[in-house]
Amino acid sequence: MLHGMRETGPAPSLADTLASVGDGVMVADPGGIVLYVNASGEKLIGWTAQEAMGRPFDQVFPLVDYFSGSALRSPIDCALACGGPVGLQNHAALITRAGTPCFVSASCSPIFCQNGGVKGVVVVFRDIDRIKGIEEEVRRERNNLKNVLEALPTGIMLVGGDAVVRWVNRPLLALFEVREDELLGRRFGDGAKCVYSSEKGCGEGGACRFCPIRQNIAAVVREGESRRDRLFEQAFLQGDGECSRWLKASFIPFSPGDDPQIVVAVEDVTEQKQHEAALQRSRDEAESASRVKSEFLANMSHEIRTPLNGLIGMVDLLLQSEMGRAQAAYAGMAKMSADALLKVISDILDFSRIEAGKVDIACVPFDLKAVVDDVVHLHGVLAQQKGLQLQYSFCAGVPRQVRGDPDRLRQILNNLIGNAVKFTDTGRIGVEVRAVGAQDARHAVEFCVSDTGIGIPAGQMDLLFKRFSQVDGSVTRRHSGTGLGLAICKQLAELMGGTVRAESEVGRGSRFYLAMAFVPDSGAPQGALSDAAPAFSPTVVEDGALRRRTGQGADLLQGGGIWFGRAAEPAAGGELSRELEALDRLRQRLEAILRDGQPQWIEETAHGIKQAALRIGADALAELAFKAELASRKQGWADAAGYSAEMIREISLRCRGE
């Protein structure tokens, strides 16, 4: 049959052409006897053309299923049966002469005569082992990926730009409690029974424009960018009612070709949101309880400090009396303990007032240098007792006459310098005040308090300005304190528009910086009493039995120019008359009344004393209002009450001449 294929002339013969084809070619007669095999075919089947020719096709080209090993029907029989070309079924493998299975693809066609009869069959085949290997690897990878996606706790689905679901994993089906056939090929809202789609179908109802899932899908299709970790609440129909869930979803574009698709990863975070809500409620309750506690302490400040101040005052009187050495030592220790207790209580009360939002910052004219001088002088004695050198510098260019809150500034500086003295055993303490420019028509001033003390480890610097914290927090720490001082300093500085920061090195000391901006004051500050004013004789009108009993020590105080009168409640009218008699005796020396601005009966008593004093000729009498806490006053409090000035209740006998 091949003899008829030969051509004369210079053109290549058909046999030569077939021999050069890269695919294997075999020709058999209608009975299946091999008539021809080209060179490529010889390599694939392992038989030479001479060996194969004259043998049955199934002998030299046996086909089996690669995975089951079962024999397959000869493609020649299939081609002759159907009268046209046929291929091989999937996983068909050729068993070579060496017995090795090899994936092949083949096309088998009948060879027809001019009269329509079948002259034979031609089979064209090739080795696809490498391709099948790649396909198998892809199949394994696809299965592995599918298994991974199925094993994830996150629900994942693949949707088109029209929100039609094309693929889902099992976690997503479990999340929305639906079957795969209820979602695939349908819009997500229809399959998951979203409330927005319950009326007209997903995307068709007017409420669908509020659906966050559709909004995000549309945004990804429009912008081509991912939208990750979108948190929203979605309602779904469940039984006869609705079930609302908090979902966190990411929408990632996935567009092979021109077909826009979006991978949607969904997590149900309803339980997490419920925990967060419960935690927020607990936090709110704790903060509310803390505020109640802080407000209680802030409101009880007067009642807490008054008896302690009375105790300190009586100890001061006792220390000025005639005592033996042992008694004086005991009284001195009592005074130290009382002062320490007052410091602790003051810190706690101050912090409570700050937390309760009951601290008002004043803006009054004052001498900045005088305030710093006073604080430095106050701590100079203790520094000298410890053998420390106290260096103080008020630099040129720092304004003296400013407006602000001198008492809060004094409180901050007292704490910073006091800490420097407390934590320094040898060396020096430095206090420097310098101008650092102007900002918003204000004078920017920086206060630097340095020491050569123990220093602070770098890892503990963050604890400095936190409440109830100390660098040495062990039970055996050398230095006492509440751990509130620096926290109070920080909050007071911030309330005044300033900042506090620190630098430190262990064993070399620390530097604390207070940055403040003061409003300039064009005129000199005018205090209630001038520096040159002579000692005056105020009458203290006070509440509480302890303070009234301090009147019994009036004879001890006469020489010092201070007289404590006993304030009487309205029911005890006899005591008021005795007060007026005392005023009559002292009218030549009486210059001021110190009165508490809180209890109503004290207001009435003080008013009566003032009127009586005016009748007996003390027309120059001034009223000085004082309260348990200067920090609690409102700006202009004394003026509104008709007082001449304000001052703090805590009057130490050690500075009674001021």
Main-chain phi, psi angles of 584, to 5 degrees: -65, -40
Distance CA 190, CA 198 (A): 8
Q: Mean pLDDT of successive 10-residue segments in the chain (658 residues)?
A: 48 76 91 92 92 93 90 91 89 90 92 88 91 86 85 87 87 86 85 73 72 85 88 79 85 78 90 90 84 70 77 86 86 82 76 74 91 90 88 92 92 91 91 86 91 86 69 48 77 91 89 92 49 42 40 35 34 45 46 48 54 50 40 44 44 37
Nearest in space to 411 (alpha carbons), one of 338, 461, 479, 354: 354
SS3 labels along 264-319: EEEEECHHHHHHHHHHHHHHHHHHHHHHHHHHHHHHCHHHHHHHHHHHHHHHHHHH
Pick the CATH number of 364-520 from 3.40.50.1370, 3.90.1640.30, 3.30.565.10, 3.40.50.10470: 3.30.565.10
Q: Where in the chain is the domain with CATH 1.10.287.130?
A: 274-355
Side-chain-side CA neighbours of residue 167 (13 Å): 10
| Topology classification of domain 537-655 | Rossmann fold (3.40.50)
Q: Residues with Cβ < 8 Å from 590, sequence gap 6 or more?
A: 537, 539, 583, 613, 618, 621
Bridge partners for 450 per DSSP: 430, 511
Residues belonging to the chain: 658
| Topology classification of domain 274-355 | Helix Hairpins (1.10.287)
From residue 406, give the alpha-carbon distance in Å to each of 349, 394, 487, 500, 615: 19, 16, 19, 17, 37
If phi > 0 it is left, if psi is from -120 to 50 it is alpha, else beta; for residue 91 that is: left
What are the tokens at 316? 């001061």
pTM, two decimals, is 0.45
DSSP character string of 435-456: EEEEETTEEEEEEEEEE-SS--
Digit-coded pLDDT (tens) for 120-175 = 999 999 988 888 888 888 888 888 888 888 888 888 999 888 888 889 999 988 88
Element (H, E) at 621: none
Give the dihedral of Cα atoms 638, 642, 648, 654; nearest 10 deg. 150
Q: Where in the chain is the domain with CATH 3.40.50?
A: 537-655
Digit-coded pLDDT (tens) for 74-101 = 999 999 989 899 998 888 999 999 999 9
Work out the number of other CB atoms within 10 angstroms of the CB of residue 551.
20
Number of H helices, E strands in the chain: 21, 23
Task: Identify whether the C-beta of residue 353 lies closer than 8 Å to the C-beta of residue 391.
Answer: no
Helix axes of 406-422 and 368-385: crossing angle, nearest 10 degrees: 20
pLDDT at residue 190 in the model: 81
SS3 378: helix
Distance CA 290, CA 453 (A): 35
SS3 239: coil
Digit-coded pLDDT (tens) for 208-258 = 777 888 888 888 888 888 899 988 888 787 767 778 888 899 999 987 657
CATH superfamily of 3-134: PAS domain (3.30.450.20)
Percent of the chain beyond pLDDT 90?
A: 25
Pick the CATH number of 152-268 from 3.30.450.20, 3.40.190.10, 3.40.50.20, 3.30.9.10: 3.30.450.20
Bridge partners for 251 per DSSP: 227, 264
Main-chain phi, psi angles of 496, to 5 degrees: -90, 10
Nearest in space to 227 (alpha carbons), one of 262, 200, 208, 252: 252
pLDDT at residue 142 in the model: 86
Q: Where in the chain is the domain with CATH 3.30.450.20?
A: 3-134, 152-268
